[in-house]
């Protein structure tokens, strides 16, 4: 199954000046998705992490990391959050996402 539709947005809150290297977050799934069911990329305008489904799955629990400094793990600040992602096929249409309250967790840099 190929589906480029964004099924979840993850919000990062960073007090650095918008659209600078210190503000720009890079997201990656650090565990819970060994088969590559999901992709995540950064929205360049909002800095949100946009999750898409690339392989059929009903529910997954993944740990996602957000790192500022454009994802530089040597210099950037990082934080992680757990997201529980449920995908339901309704009436043979493209899947829809039901996000748990854990998905509402915002990444924060102090």
Rounded distance, CA 16 to CA 80, Å? 19
Residue 92: exposed, middle, or buried by beta-carbon count in 10 A (0-12, 13-18, 19+)?
Answer: exposed
Boundaries of every domain in the chain: 6-104
Q: pLDDT higher for 95 or 70?
A: 70
Residue 80: exposed, middle, or buried by beta-carbon count in 10 A (0-12, 13-18, 19+)?
Answer: middle
Quote the pTM value. Answer: 0.60
Beta strands in 5-105 (DSSP E): 6-10, 12-13, 26-31, 38-42, 49-53, 59-67, 78-88, 96-99
| pLDDT of residue 17 exceeding 70 | yes
Q: Provide the CATH number for the domain formed by 6-104 in this structure.
A: 2.60.40.60
* Strand partners for 29: 64
Q: pLDDT higher for 72 or 68?
A: 68
96 close to 8: Cβ distance less than 8 angstroms: no
Q: What does the pLDDT look like over 23-61, one tens digit per residue?
A: 888 898 888 888 888 889 999 999 898 988 887 777 778
| pLDDT of residue 20 exceeding 70 | yes
């Amino acid at each position: 199954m190929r589906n480029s539709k964004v099924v979840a947005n993850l919000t990062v809150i960073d007090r650095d000046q918008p659209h600078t290297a210190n503000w720009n977050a890079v997201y990656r799934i650090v565990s819970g998705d060994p088969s590559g069911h999901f992709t995540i990329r950064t929205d360049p305008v909002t800095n949100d992490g946009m999750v898409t489904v690339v392989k059929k799955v009903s529910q997954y629990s993944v740990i996602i990391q957000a790192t500022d400094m454009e994802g530089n793990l040597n210099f950037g600040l990082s934080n992680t959050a757990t997201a529980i992602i449920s995908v339901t096929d309704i009436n043979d249409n493209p899947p829809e996402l039901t996000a748990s309250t854990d998905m509402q967790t915002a990444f924060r840099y102090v």
